[in-house]
Amino acid sequence: MKKTSTRLADGRELIYYDLADDTVRDAVDRRPLDATVTTSEIRRDELLGDFVAIASHRQGRTYHPPADECPLCPSEGGRLSEIPDSSYDVVVFENRFPSLAGDSGRCEVVCFTSDHNASFASLSEPQARLVLDAWTDRTSELSHLPSVEQVFCFENRGAEIGVTLQHPHGQIYAYPFTTPRTALMLRQVAAHKEATGGENLFDAVVERERAAERVVLEGEHWVAFVPYAAHWPYEVHLYPKRRVPDLLGLDEAARAEFPRVYLELLRRFDRIFGENEPPTPYIAAWHQAPFGPLDDFEGVTRDDFALHLELFTIRRTSGKLKFLAGSESGMNVFINDVPPERAAERLREVASS
């Protein structure tokens, strides 16, 4: 992997990640851009103890542009985009309309390929490995920013999810706090560790799931399963078999196997509802240990956390979405219409030939 860092016309950082070590990246952003102005602010909800990002400047972000005006495609001729070069393998840049900025953290965009009509599932294994390497590198770099306590790499795919740019891409949020979802996990880890005299909760969960009927696929270094208490109609958790706290902890064997396993999962997701259905909308979310202090979780260290990816769709059946209505949105109590065992069975049925 070759990494080349440059700056856009408004001062934002842009980084090329290339498969070929001899690739030269010297294109200049020729757009007449003013300096980026953000209004990002973090507010704490005293009743719930969680945080809300207030970012009114995002109201003016790019919304469903036509394909020939996509800001994530390479620049060509007189059409100038966020990427100054005429092609790229993987590129990462600071979001022009960030939810988090400055002392409130940082938001980045990760473009998986220059092909506007592709998807992550259509990438080759070397391309998918390059994305993994980019996620890892950005996790390392962002973790050293003084305002950052947690790094979250994710992909939103599909208009049903709320995606406003159809080019295959994901995002990275660098939060100035430990997110509520991670804090819940850490509290459970701490309680389980105390109750069992030191057993790791993640290890116990993965061991039980591997012995159950909800395993979707398993490699030498990774295992994917539908969890016992899945929240979403089709939800898969992907774990490395050797527990590590973050992407930086993966060894070369796990990194080498990841593209094959993950691409297979994504391709199965696109076949859940039949070959003639539109692409399955999904969220793919990496859970990593916080880099900030863990003083609120007695007896827990970063090494007690287990890196894993959660992949889920909000489509519950052909042509129907799972809406977060009263119980889910009002009380955070999910109601799942698809039994996890049946979801796992379906994901095994649609395996690649």
Q: What is the pLDDT along the chain (353 residues), one digit of tens a residue?
A: 999 999 999 999 999 999 999 999 999 999 999 887 787 899 999 999 999 999 887 766 676 788 789 999 999 988 999 999 999 999 999 999 999 998 999 999 999 999 999 999 999 999 999 999 999 999 999 999 999 999 999 999 999 999 989 999 999 999 999 999 999 999 999 999 999 999 999 999 999 999 999 999 999 999 999 999 999 999 999 999 999 999 999 999 999 999 999 999 999 999 999 888 889 999 999 999 999 899 999 999 999 999 999 999 999 999 999 999 999 999 999 999 999 999 999 999 998 65
Cα separation, 174 vs 42, in Å, equals 13
Residue 353: the pLDDT is 54
Give the number of C-alpha atoms closer than 13 A to the C-alpha of residue 258, restricted to the C-beta side. Answer: 24
| CB-based contact 234:352 (threshold 8 Å) | no
Cα separation, 351 vs 269, in Å, equals 10
Strand, coil or helix: what is 21?
coil
Segments in 169-318 forming alpha helices (H):
180-196, 201-210, 252-269
Q: Which two tokens stand for residue 86?
A: 């005429």
Cα separation, 75 vs 61, in Å, equals 19
Residue 352: the pLDDT is 67
What pairs with residue 238 in β-bridges?
A: 224, 309
The model carries a pTM of 0.96
Name residue, tokens 């990774």: 222
Which are the catalytic amino acids?
A: 169
